[in-house]
Chains A and B, each alone.
Chain A
Amino acid sequence: MTSALGSAPTGRDDRRARPTPTRAYRFRWARAAGTGWLYVLPALVMYAVFVLRPLVLTLQYSLYDWNGIGVARWVGLDNYLTVFTDSDLLKIIGNAVVLIVFFSFIPVALGLLVASMVRRITTGAFGTVVRTILFLPQVIPLVAAGIAWSWLLSSNGLVNQVLRAVGLGGVARAWLGDFDTALPAVGVIGAWVLLGLCTILLVTGMSKIDPALYEAARLDGAGPVREFLAVTLPSLRQEIGVCLTVTIIAALASFDIVYISTSGGPGLQTTVPGLEIYRLAFSQRQVGLASALAVVLMLLVLACVLPIQRLTRGEKP
C-alpha cells in the first residue's frame, strides 16, 4: 500500500501545456517518450510483478474458498459478506480504528507541541542530539520495540516498579494482559514509535516558515498561542497531512507491534486486521476470507487517507 503511494507519479509534467507539434517535433517527441518508457521499464516490471500482480491475485482469491493448496471453490462475494457480518471481524476492524487515536492523533498533537518547543534549537550540535533522540524510535526495529515495551509493561516491569515506588501499587497490573488496558497499552507503544517521525517532519516544516510572518504577527500584538494558531499551524498544513497519512496507515495496517507485544490477546482485545489476515491465511488456511479482509482493509485505508489528502492539499500561502 505505502509503496504504491510512494512510487506514484506526481504528474506535474502533464499540466504543462505542450506547443502544437510540427511533424518533425512530434516524431522526436514520440521517440523521446519511447526512450523514457525504456528507462522506467525495469522499475515498471518490478512494480507490476511485486505490487500489481499480488493486488490482482488478492482480488481474485477473495472470490474463492481456498485453503492455499487444493482446488478452490468459487463463492462470489460470500467472503465479503462474512467480513461485514462476523461480529469478531467487525470488532477487529474496530480495534484498528481505535488505534488511529494512539498512532495518529496523539503523535501529531504531541509532535506539534514538541516541535514548537525545539524549533529554536534545531541548529548546532545540541539540535542534532535532540533530533537523533527524537528520531531513535523510528530506527529501532518494531520487533525490538515491541519486546522492550512488553518488558516495561509486564507485571514486574519498570512501569509497575515506578508506580509501586510512588505508592500507586494499587493500579499496577500486567498492562498488556489486562482486558481493559491492553489496547491502550499497545497504542502507547505505537505513539512512542511514531512521535519522533511526526516531530522531525513538523520541525522541518517549521524551519521553512518565513520569519517575517512571526515578526508581523508579533507587531500586531499576537502572543505565543495566537502566533501558533495564526502562523505555525496554517503553514504546516501539508506536513500535518503527511504525518496523518503515514500514521493512519501505520495504525490500520499495524502488525509487528501487536504481534510481538500481545499476539492479539487477551481474547480479541488487541487483534487488528493485519494480524487476523495473517492468521486466517497461514494458520487457519482460509486464503479467500483473508484476501477479502485485506481488500476491505485497503479500501478502509483509502477511505481514511484520501479525504486527508484532499483537505491538506491546498497551495502554500
Chain B
Amino acid sequence: MAELLTKFPRRRTVLLASLLAVGMTATACSAPGEDRSSNPTSDTAVKTELGADPITLQMYAETGFPLAKALADEFSKQHSNVTFNIREDQFTVIVENAPRVMASDNSPDIIRLPTMVDLVKDDLLKNLDPYFTAYGWDKFPASQLMQLRVGENTRGTGSLYGMGLGYSVTGVFYNKKLATQIGMTQPPATVAEFEELLAKAKTGGVQPIMQFNKNTAGINFPHQALQNQFGDPTQVADWIFQKPGATFDTPAALKATQTIQKWAQAGYFTKDANALDYAGMVGEFQKGNGLFMFNGDWESANLDKAMPGNVGFFLFPTESPGAKHVAMSAPNTFGVSAKAKNPDAAAYFLNWVHTNAKAREISVTVGGSSPGGPSDLPVPSAAENTVLAETLKASQQLGAENGAVDFTANATGGIFAAAITPEMQKLIAGQQTPEGYVKAVQAEYQKELSR
C-alpha cells in the first residue's frame, strides 16, 4: 500500500491511459440523454371500463403513509382481477428517484409525485386531460385540482397531470393540558392573539413552539403561515407556480421573516431546533414538551392515538379578526407515468378513490385527510372529540373560504434543500438577516428558473 501510485511503472501508466482513452471514445460520442427514445404520447381514446382481464398495477408509494396500500387493498377486494405491486420509499428518496424510475422500462403505473414541472418537461408524466373529460372531473371544485395542472413552464393552469390520494390541510396542533395551564380558553383569532399566547407560555415556563429545523426547514411552516396572512396570498401562489415576474422579495415575506427572527430571539422555538428532526419534533410534542406544533392533518390519526383527548387543532389565525383563512393545503399527489403499461386502469383507480364511498371513508380514517372529489358527495365523518374531526372540519372550512395555497417549499425542485433550509437554519441562529433571507431565497429561485 505504501508504495503504490508513485512506483506505478511507466508501461502500465501507458496501458491505463490507453484504456481510459478507449473508454472515452466509446462513451463520449453522443451527449448524455440523446439516445433516449421519445415517449409514446399517442392520445388514443381512453377507456373508462376496467374489464375482466387480470391486471397488475405497479405502484410507487411513500413509506410511513399507509393510505395508498389501504386503498389498493380495498380496490382489489372490489375488483378481483386487479392486483397491486407496491414499492415504497421515503418521500425524499422518491423525489430523487422519480425521474429515473419513470424513465426506465419498469416505469410504475401510479406514482407518488414530488414537484411536477420538471417531470412534465421531460415527458415522463401522462397528461390526464382525456380522463378529466371522460370521468367528468369538472364536477370537482376547480380549486381542488389547480395545483396539479402544469402549463407552459408554470403550474396552476394548463393540463392536469396528477390527482390527490387525500387532500391535506396544515395548521397548528396544540396540547390541551398545557393550553389550559397558560389560560388559553379558545384558539386565537388573530396573529396578535397567537403571539400573546406564545409570550404567556414562555413566561409560564412552557415551551411555546415545538418545531423541527434539521434536514429540512420545519420552521418554514410557521414562516409561510405568517407570510400567507401578511399579504395577498395570490402573490405567494404565483411565486410557487412560477408565474413570470413573481418574486419572493415582498413586504409580506419580509415581515414574516422578521417575525420568525423575533420569535427565535424570544426563545419561542427550542434552542436545539437546528438539531431536531421531524420524528424528534413529533415525539417531543407527544410527550407534552411543547404547546404548539405547526404540522398537517397526516399526523391527526397518529396524535389521536398517542395523546387521546389532549390535542387540538386550529387553522393559523388571520392578521385582522374575521378575515378569510389562508393555509397551506396540498393534494397527496399521485400521477400516472407516461410509460405506464396500464394507464386506463390507473386512472380508473384514481377516479374510484375520489368517488367510491368506502374509498372516501378510508381516506379519512386511514389518511386523516379530506378525500376530495365532487362537491355533492358527503364527506365521511370522524369520531367525536378527536383531532381528526377537527382537521377535517378545518379542511372543509378552508375549502369553503377558498383559502388553500401550496407550499413555498414546492416552488422548484431544489429551492427547499438549496435555499430555504440552510438560510432558515442561519436565520434562527442569528447568522442571517431577514432581508438577506428573502434575497437569498429569491436568488436561488431565479438561478433554478434560468436553467
Query: Which chain B residues border A53 with CB–CB below 8 Å?
Result: 23, 27
Expressed in whole angstroms, the minimum distance between the Cβ of A201 and any Cβ of chain B is: 10
Q: Which residues of the partner chain B approach A313 to less than 8 Å between Cβ atoms?
A: 2-3, 6-7
B272–A10 touching, CB < 8 Å: no
**Which of the residues B7, B11, B275, B418 comes within 8 Å of A10, measured between beta carbons?**
B7
**Among residues 169 to 201 in chain A, which have CB atoms less than 8 Å away from a CB atom of chain B?**
173-179
A6, A173, A179, A287: the one contacting B32 at CB < 8 Å is A287
Contact with B along A289-317 (1 / 0, CB 8 A): 00000000000000001100110110000
Is residue B36 within 8 Å, beta carbon to beta carbon, of the partner chain?
yes
Whole-angstrom distance between the Cβ of A69 and the nearest chain B Cβ? 5
- For the complex formed, measure the closest distance between the CB of B95 and the CB atoms of chain A, giving whole angstroms: 6
**A282 touches B (CB below 8 Å):** yes
Q: Which residues of A contact B7 (CB under 8 A)?
A: 10-11, 313
| Residues 25 to 55 of chain B near chain A (Cβ within 8 Å) | 27-28, 31-34, 36
Among the listed stretches B325-333, B379-387, B425-433, which one makes contact with chain A, having 4 or more residues with CB under 8 Å of it? B425-433
Assign chain B's interface to a size class. 35 or more
Which chain B positions have C-beta within 8 A of A60? Answer: 24, 27-28, 32
Cα A267 to Cα B92 with chains together (Å): 19
Closest A residue by C-beta to B103:
A69
Q: Which of A174, A242, A267 is close to B431, meaning CB atoms less than 8 Å apart?
A: A267
- Contacting B31 at CB < 8 Å: which of A10, A72, A179, A245? A72
Q: Which residue of the partner chain A has the closest CB to B421?
A: A265
Chain B residue with minimal CB distance to A180? B429
Q: A69-B124, A71-B31, A155-B272 given as contacts; is B5 within 8 A of A179 (CB)?
A: no
By beta carbon, the residue of chain B nearest A285 is B413
A221 to B285, CA, bound (A): 67
Q: Looking at chain A, what size class is its interface with the partner chain?
A: 35 or more
Other A-B pairs beyond A5-B5, A64-B32, 13, CB < 8 Å: A56-B28, A69-B122, A71-B31, A73-B31, A154-B272, A155-B270, A178-B274, A242-B2, A265-B422, A279-B417, A282-B96, A284-B413, A313-B2
A-B contact pairs, 27 of them (CB 8 A): A10-B4, A11-B8, A14-B12, A48-B19, A48-B23, A52-B20, A52-B23, A53-B23, A56-B20, A56-B24, A56-B27, A66-B33, A68-B100, A71-B36, A173-B271, A175-B275, A177-B272, A238-B2, A262-B214, A263-B214, A265-B214, A266-B275, A266-B425, A267-B425, A267-B426, A271-B422, A309-B5
B residues whose Cβ falls under 8 Å from a Cβ of A:
1-9, 11-12, 19-20, 23-24, 27-28, 31-34, 36, 92, 95-96, 99-100, 103, 118, 121-122, 124, 214-215, 270-276, 413-414, 417-418, 421-423, 425-426, 429, 431-432, 448, 451
